[in-house]
Structure 1
């Protein structure tokens, strides 16, 4: 019985195939891990929100989180229902829309600014139209209804939302929606309280 002799080219091909398969499996595993992590995070955020609604206290979804639920944002016409987090840090925005510090908390007097990623939690902003209703339920258990009144595309380097200018919410995301890189443009949806709610 003779043992086949491998030449260098065959060994190099086998190594290249093994390397490509390894990288492919690693990429698939990473994608599945990120998706699973996002799904588990939503369950944990929902649980933290329910605890907040029960006792009125702030509850982090996991011990090392840098944010906690402060409101629930719903757009019935689009079937959207999301937990709003206490800040808009990079970590927080990975899991949901976040309240921009420096603006009033959702439901308070003034213009509350809520930011989210254009390719995930706030991708639906492009579908909102004037007169659409957005509801916010805050940790005090009150649900407030807002009506979309306008949208704007602004340069973030030259524009700031005045938190004391008007009562309402401003939903902000990067623009354009299909861009690969984040630029200076922002898409803002402004909504004010329903007339009956004022």
Structure 2
């Protein structure tokens, strides 16, 4: 009897763990579909649109790295709830396309998983919810301690920073962050 219970118990535990991991990725994918719909409506109406009625955030931009086929909707703020559904815009930073540094942060295992494939020189495109489009060029990356990012909020340039936890394949959180820096190339309207 014990020989039958052990394989069944191990199979059940494995299925639960697999299901839990699959749920996180399914939630992230579905959220991006709903966020894309809200983002398009925001552009069309000129007003922020929540992706679902109980959301504590709304889409403010789309980030794309076409060379690798990556795209994600960026949300207002970086609360734990917002980051569960997409990259967040750090409140104390400027909007993309404005003088200063716009900072977007996301989880390394979902929405910013693609950062591992972004190379220096890649073009990063940002479309804001007001319909304005900006192109940035990735020009530097670094692994930093979470409280020593080197990001200068008082910069006089037009900059973008994408930040996530490091290392990409870690299973637990740690003190290091991966920071990708980019400089504005131009606007597309």
TM range (shorter): 0.7 to 0.9
Question: Residue 174 of structure 1 corresponds to which residue in structure 2?
Answer: 165
8 Å CA contact 2:124, 2:137 repeated in 1: yes
**Which has the larger displacement, 35-44 or 47-56?**
35-44
Specify the SS of the correspondent of 1:188.
strand
Give 1:14 deviation, angstroms: 7.3
Question: Residue 123 of structure 1 corresponds to which residue in structure 2?
Answer: 113
User: Take 2:21 and 2:148, find their aligned partners in 1: how far apart are those partners?
Assistant: 37
**Which has the larger displacement, 12-21 or 85-94?**
12-21
Distance change (3 Å), C-alpha of 1:31 and 1:175: closer
Matches within 5 A, 1:53-68: 53-68=43-58
User: Take 1:35 and 1:160, find their aligned partners in 2: how far apart are those partners?
Assistant: 31
Kindly report the root-mean-square deviation, in angstroms, between the aligned alpha carbons of the 2 structures. Answer: 2.3
**Which has the larger displacement, 108-117 or 30-39?**
30-39
Report how many aligned residue pairs link the two structures: 187
Unmatched 5+ stretches in structure 1: 1-9
**Which has the larger displacement, 88-97 or 156-165?**
156-165
Bigger proportion of residues as strand: 2
Instruction: Indicate whether 1:41 and 2:31 are aligned.
Output: yes
Question: Residue 185 of structure 2 corresponds to which residue in structure 1?
Answer: 194
Q: Which has the larger radius of gyration?
A: 1
8 Å CA contact 2:97, 2:184 repeated in 1: no
**Which has the larger displacement, 147-156 or 76-85?**
147-156
User: Take 1:196 and 1:27, find their aligned partners in 2: how far apart are those partners?
Assistant: 45
Task: Normalising by structure 2, report the TM-score.
Answer: 0.85
Distance change (3 Å), C-alpha of 1:155 and 1:14: closer
User: Take 2:56 and 2:15, find their aligned partners in 1: how far apart are those partners?
Assistant: 32
Matches within 5 A, 1:1-198: 23=13, 26-27=16-17, 29-31=19-21, 33-165=23-155, 166-194=157-185
State the structure with bigger RCO (CA 8 A, min sep 6), 1 or 2. Answer: 2
Give 1:18 deviation, angstroms: 6.9
8 Å CA contact 2:28, 2:111 repeated in 1: no
User: Take 1:184 and 1:25, find their aligned partners in 2: how far apart are those partners?
Assistant: 31
